[in-house]
Structure 1
Amino acid sequence: MPSQSEKKGKLYIVGIGPGSVEQLTVHARDVILNADYVLGNDTYLDQIEELLTTQNIYRSSMGKEVDRAKEAVKLAENNVAVMVSGGDANVYGMAGIVIEVAESNNLDVEIEVVPGVTAMLASASVLGAPVVVDAATISLSDLLTPWEVIEKRLSAAADAGFIISLYNPKSRQRTSNFERAIEIIRKFREDSVPVGLVKNALRGDEQEYIVTTLGEVLEYNDWVDMRTAIVICNSDSRIWNSPNGDKIITPRGYHRKYEY
Structure 2
Amino acid sequence: MSQSRSHGKLYIVGIGPGGIEHLTKKAESALLESEYVIGNGTYLDQIAVIIKDQKIIRSAMGGEVERARKAVELGKSHIVSIISGGDANVYGMAGLVLEVAQKAEEIEIEVIPGVTAINAAASLLGAPLVNDFAIISLSDLLTSIEMIKRRLNSAAEADFVIAIYNPKSRNRKETFAKAIEIIRKYRNENTPVGIVKSATRIGETVISTTLGRIMEYNDVIDMSTIVLIGNSESRLWKNRIITPRGYQRKYEY
Shorter-chain TM-score: which interval?
over 0.9
Q: What are the within-5 Å matches in structure 2 for residues 11-160 of structure 1?
A: 11-105=10-104, 107-160=105-158
Q: Do residues 253 (structure 1) and 246 (structure 2) align?
A: yes
TM-score after normalising by structure 1: 0.94
Q: Distance in 1 between matches of 2:143 and 2:50?
A: 34
Quote the offset at 1:135 in angstroms.
Answer: 0.6
* 1:29-66 deviations in Å (ceiling 9; x for gaps): 11011101000010000000001111100000000000
Q: Distance in 2 between matches of 1:23 and 1:202?
A: 8
What is the identity, as a one-letter code, of the residue corresponding to 1:155? N
For the residue of structure 2 that corresponds to 1:90, the secondary structure is coil
The residue that corresponds to 2:204 in the other structure is 207
Q: Distance in 2 between matches of 1:65 and 1:45?
A: 14
- Root mean square deviation, CA, Å: 1.0
What is the identity, as a one-letter code, of the residue corresponding to 1:248? I
Quote the offset at 1:191 in angstroms.
Answer: 0.9
**Superposition misfits of 4+ residues, deviation over 3 angstroms:** none
Uncovered stretches (5+) of structure 2, i.e. residues with no partner: none
Q: Do residues 176 (structure 1) and 174 (structure 2) align?
A: yes
Q: Do residues 231 (structure 1) and 228 (structure 2) align?
A: yes
For the residue of structure 2 that corresponds to 1:51, the secondary structure is coil
TM-score after normalising by structure 2: 0.96
Quote the offset at 1:175 in angstroms.
Answer: 0.9
The residue that corresponds to 1:3 in the other structure is none
Quote the offset at 1:257 in angstroms.
Answer: 1.5
For the residue of structure 1 that corresponds to 2:110, the secondary structure is strand
Uncovered stretches (5+) of structure 1, i.e. residues with no partner: 1-5
For the residue of structure 2 that corresponds to 1:44, the secondary structure is helix
Q: Distance in 2 between matches of 1:206 and 1:27?
A: 27
Q: Distance in 1 between matches of 2:70 and 2:41?
A: 16
For the residue of structure 1 that corresponds to 2:49, the secondary structure is helix
State the identity as a percent: 58
Q: Distance in 2 between matches of 1:64 and 1:27?
A: 26
Q: Distance in 1 between matches of 2:115 and 2:179?
A: 24
Q: Distance in 2 between matches of 1:160 and 1:119?
A: 23
